[in-house]
Amino acid sequence: MASYFIDGVEGWSALGYDANADTNGYTSRCNSYSVHLSRFGFPDGCLRRPDDTCGAMFFQAAAVFLGDQSAVYGGTLEYTLKLEQVPLYVRLADVVMRSANGTTLVYKSGFVPTESQDWKRVVVPLEASAWHRDRVSEAPPTEAEMRAVLTSLRAIHIRGEYFDGGDEAYLDNVLLRSVR
Ligand SMILES: [Ca+2]
């Protein structure tokens, strides 16, 4: 499963989470963001975060990344991100997954973006020990819990905002990769 955004947004959208979502819970605050395609990319087109602000914006994966993705347990979620501002929301998760029954798992990478950085490849292990239940400070899910989420995925959200106002973010080359 992959999105390269060569000619369009490929079914992706975006939503805003509360800037304090890691304390208050990952309940979306604004659901109706569109994403803009940019000619810019790594290479050939990418998603660009919307200009208006409503909390912390996350890119929302297209439907083809959702549903039964049980085959990718042990594999990776990979994406390329470019940010143009000093990060501020460092306490938020970088990826949020939610199952059809509402179970929420979050992932926080060790990646700390810097101002005007170049394109950065982020590789997220799809293994229970790398994730947390509900928020970054919580314990990891069990393998069974994580497999259950991957079996009925309702959402994958990739963080696109690290600074409160005036920043830009670009997303490209999203892959769900099974274990090889
Ligand atoms: Ca591209």
- Domains of the chain, start order: 2-177 (2.60.120)
Expressed in angstroms and rounded, the spacing between residue 144 Cα and the centre of ligand 1 is 34
Ligand 1 center–CA 169 separation, angstroms: 14
pTM, to two decimals: 0.94
For ligand 1, the distance from its centroid to the CA atom of residue 54, given in whole angstroms, is 26
Provide the greatest CA pair distance for the chain: 41
User: Measured in angstroms, how far is the CA atom of residue 91 from the centroid of ligand 1?
Assistant: 28
pLDDT at 85: 76
Q: How far apart are CA 74 and CA 157, in angstroms?
A: 19
CB 155 within 8 A of CB 66: yes
Distance 46 CA to ligand 1 centre (A): 5
pLDDT grade, residue 51 (50/70/90)? Answer: low
Q: Please name which of 120, 124, 113, 58 lies closest in space to residue 90, comparing C-alpha atoms.
A: 113
**Of residues 49, 41, 20, 61, the one with CA closest to residue 166:** 49
Q: What is the pLDDT of residues 57-74, one digit of tens each?
A: 899 999 999 999 999 999
Do 5 and 37 contact (CB within 8 A), yes or no?
Answer: yes
**β-pair type (46-48, 13-17):** unpaired
Using the mean position of ligand 1's atoms as its centre, give its distance from the Cα of residue 4 in Å.
4
Three-state DSSP state, 147: helix
Whether 104 and 96 have beta carbons less than 8 Å apart is answered as yes
